[in-house]
Amino acid sequence: MNELLIWGLDLLSGLFILVVGIVTLAIVYMYISDKSQHHHAIRHNYPVIGRFRYFFEKQGEFFRQYFFAMDREELPFNRAERSWVYRAAKNVDRTIAFGSTRNLDPTGTIMFMNCAFPTLDEDAVPPEPVTIGPDCAQPYTAKSIFNISGMSFGALSRPAVEALAGGAAKAGCWMNTGEGGLSPYHLASGADIVFQIGTAKYGVRDEQGRLSDEKLQQVAAHPQVKMFEIKISQGAKPGKGGILPGRKVTAEIAEIRGIPEGEDSISPNGHPDIRSVEDLLDMIARVRKVTGKPVGFKAVVGSQDWLQALFKAIALRGPDSAPDFITVDSADGGTGAAPQPLMDYVGLPLKESLPLVVKMLEQQQLRERVKVIASGKLITPSKVAWAVALGADFVVSARGYMFALGCIQALQCNKDTCPTGITTHNPRLQKGLNVANKTERVAHYNKYIHYGIGLLAHSCGVRHVRELAPKHIRVVADNGLSVALEELYKHHH
């Protein structure tokens, strides 16, 4: 027995010496490596110990999210917003107790004005479907107010696209392809699809990268493809094309997009064939003629001169030349990868650009002809109802639906290391995304957004959300007191 004990102690002692030896060797290696490199001053001056700075910096994202940030503090989406989306998607209790944690003092805070005699359930009616492009050969009548914004297959994983498309079909909303082209996974569930034509014309380009009528016809031949959206710019990177790192350009994605495998997929920062408002109207007319379906464009509003020029050109050509819809993207939109100066500093937020576009359309008598779609951080019922009250016919969201899929805001979309399997092509990480389960979550999220905007509308005394108007909302001004939204915008423009 003693011999066995001695043998065990000798083994443990040997293992300990081995472990100490390995650790010592690792420390010596790191010391020599740090002292001999000149890229990082801290690592050179404080070898081994200096490495902890980078480790702690990386862990900061995690600790801020889970331990230190208050419910309403974190950006780009705070915990209260994300928590509501998660609960809605999981179809669990969405009520809260004791009192709101939302601070009503900051300038710009919006508040809906409840009516003394709210709409009773028996008087409430569902909002009417809205037809986009009524004069097209194949107009699109859309029932869902809240829809899925553009996210490319490539930026998103295959199971993420499958779950979003499945959820869209169940919810009866549309799904935008993003600029990455049309994949079989968009079509598999039978969901309504909006095909986005990006600056690189992925999916509808010829060998020279120009728009191909033949490819447009092939895409339009799918009855599920309901509309075409020409992307002029997007909120997270106005003036910059899409960026898909080469490690995410698989053989399948390369084939769908019509580009080389394994190379960075970088779209031009603008359409080479759209250099003026005349070019834009020509492109809209061409795509509409070739496909027979509604065509609009997506843009972040910055300089307003081009919009005024656009509406002048439409007035000369006639209302038939107008886009069937305009997607107004907010400057605070999201994306998988974008340069920080553009994401942080360029473009107008939706609170300014949306009423501006609506007002311009009204002045040109085009408000009925051109539908308005709002996009940009609208992931909860209050934000969606606010956009509709400002004049949006529809609202689209990308990140809201990503949260419904299980996104934890790990901020790794551009690295192919997404821990939830949503924005990675790593098969091991994708396995965590159960398509059947996430399909249900996407559908639930859409359902409870519509339920929530109905609650707000009925509280304000109207029958459905499309009857909400600026008069139903007040905004906190600089002096801490609120002002009616319609008054605010009357002075603003």
Six-digit token string for 307:
């919009």
Mean pLDDT of 74-100: 78
Please check whether residue 333 lies inside any domain of the structure: yes
Q: Say if residue 185's pLDDT is above 60.
A: yes
In this structure, the answer to whether residues 125 and 57 fall within a common structural domain is no
Q: Say if residue 68's pLDDT is above 60.
A: no
Q: Are 445 and 89 in contact (CB under 8 A)?
A: yes
Nearest to 438 by CA among 252, 170, 187: 170
In this structure, the answer to whether residues 416 and 479 fall within a common structural domain is yes
CATH number of the domain that 145 lies in?
Answer: 3.20.20.70
Going from the C-alpha of 204 to that of each of 33, 176, 343, 437, the distances in angstroms are: 50, 15, 28, 32
In this structure, the answer to whether residues 149 and 56 fall within a common structural domain is no
**Alpha carbon 136 to its chain's center:** 28
Beta 225-231 vs 192-197: how paired, if at all?
Answer: parallel
Six-digit token string for 225:
């493809």
- Ranked by mean pLDDT, the top range of 100-114, 365-379, 415-429 is 365-379
Residue 363 burial (CB count, 10 A): 11
Domain extent, residue 47, equals 2-68
In this structure, the answer to whether residues 332 and 233 fall within a common structural domain is yes
All residues at 6 or more sequence positions from 186 whose CB lies less than 8 Å from its CB, including other chains:
153, 161, 165, 175, 177, 193
In this structure, the answer to whether residues 326 and 404 fall within a common structural domain is yes
In this structure, the answer to whether residues 58 and 130 fall within a common structural domain is no
Please check whether residue 45 lies inside any domain of the structure: yes
Domain end: 40, 68, 96, which one? Answer: 68
What crossing angle do the helices spanning 435-459 and 158-171 adopt, rounded to 10°? 40
Q: Say if residue 165's pLDDT is above 60.
A: yes
Six-digit token string for 165:
């498309």
Compute the distance between CA of residue 458 and CA of residue 94 in angstroms, rounded to an integer. Answer: 18
Compute the distance between CA of residue 121 and CA of residue 125 in angstroms, rounded to an integer. Answer: 8
* Of 116-125, 142-151, 462-471, minimum mean pLDDT range: 116-125
Q: Are 225 and 140 in contact (CB under 8 A)?
A: no
Q: Are 160 and 410 in contact (CB under 8 A)?
A: no
Residue 75 burial (CB count, 10 A): 8
Please check whether residue 114 lies inside any domain of the structure: no
Query: CA torsion, points 45, 48, 50, 54, in degrees to nearest 10?
Result: 140
In this structure, the answer to whether residues 40 and 146 fall within a common structural domain is no
Question: Of residues 65 and 41, which shows the higher confidence score?
Answer: 41
Please check whether residue 96 lies inside any domain of the structure: no
Compute the distance between CA of residue 199 and CA of residue 5 in angstroms, rounded to an integer. Answer: 73
Nearest to 408 by CA among 390, 386, 432: 432
486 backbone dihedrals φ, ψ, rounded to 5°: -65, -35
If you write DSSP's letter for every residue of 57-121 in order, what string do you get? HHHHHHHIIIIIS-TTT-SSS-HHHHHHHHHHHHT------S-----S-STT-EEE---SSPPPG
In this structure, the answer to whether residues 438 and 359 fall within a common structural domain is yes
Question: Of residues 217 and 272, which shows the higher confidence score?
Answer: 217
Question: Of residues 322 and 243, which shows the higher confidence score?
Answer: 322
Would the CA dihedral through 21, 23, 25, 31 be positive or negative? negative
Three-class secondary structure of residue 396 per DSSP: strand
Domain end: 26, 41, 68, which one? Answer: 68
User: Considering the entire predicted model, what is its pTM?
Assistant: 0.86
In this structure, the answer to whether residues 322 and 427 fall within a common structural domain is yes
439-492 pLDDT tens trace: 999 999 999 999 999 999 999 999 999 999 999 999 998 888 998 888 877 755
In this structure, the answer to whether residues 55 and 126 fall within a common structural domain is no
Six-digit token string for 107:
């300038």
Q: What pLDDT band is residue 426 in, cutting at 50, 70 and 90? A: confident
DSSP symbol at 130: E
Question: Of residues 345 and 138, which shows the higher confidence score?
Answer: 138
307-329 pLDDT tens trace: 999 999 999 999 999 999 999 99
Q: Say if residue 236's pLDDT is above 60.
A: no
20-32 pLDDT tens trace: 999 999 999 989 9
Q: What pLDDT band is residue 240 in, cutting at 50, 70 and 90? A: low
133 backbone dihedrals φ, ψ, rounded to 5°: 65, 55
Q: Are 323 and 293 in contact (CB under 8 A)?
A: no
Mean of per-residue pLDDT scores for the chain:
87
Preceding peptide of 76 cis, ω within 30°:
yes
Q: Say if residue 335's pLDDT is above 80.
A: no
How much is the pLDDT for 43? 75
Q: Say if residue 101's pLDDT is above 90.
A: no
Q: What pLDDT band is residue 429 in, cutting at 50, 70 and 90? A: confident
Three-class secondary structure of residue 181 per DSSP: coil
Please check whether residue 107 lies inside any domain of the structure: no
% pLDDT > 90, the chain: 54
In this structure, the answer to whether residues 354 and 461 fall within a common structural domain is yes
> Domains in the chain: how many in total?
2
Q: Are 231 and 150 in contact (CB under 8 A)?
A: yes
Going from the C-alpha of 405 to that of each of 187, 242, 291, 421, 436, the distances in angstroms are: 19, 22, 32, 9, 11
Please check whether residue 88 lies inside any domain of the structure: no
Q: What pLDDT band is residue 338 in, cutting at 50, 70 and 90? A: low
Please check whether residue 132 lies inside any domain of the structure: yes
Q: In which residue are the tokens 């027979």 written?
A: 292
DSSP symbol at 156: B
In this structure, the answer to whether residues 424 and 330 fall within a common structural domain is yes
Please check whether residue 259 lies inside any domain of the structure: yes
Mean pLDDT of 109-138: 93
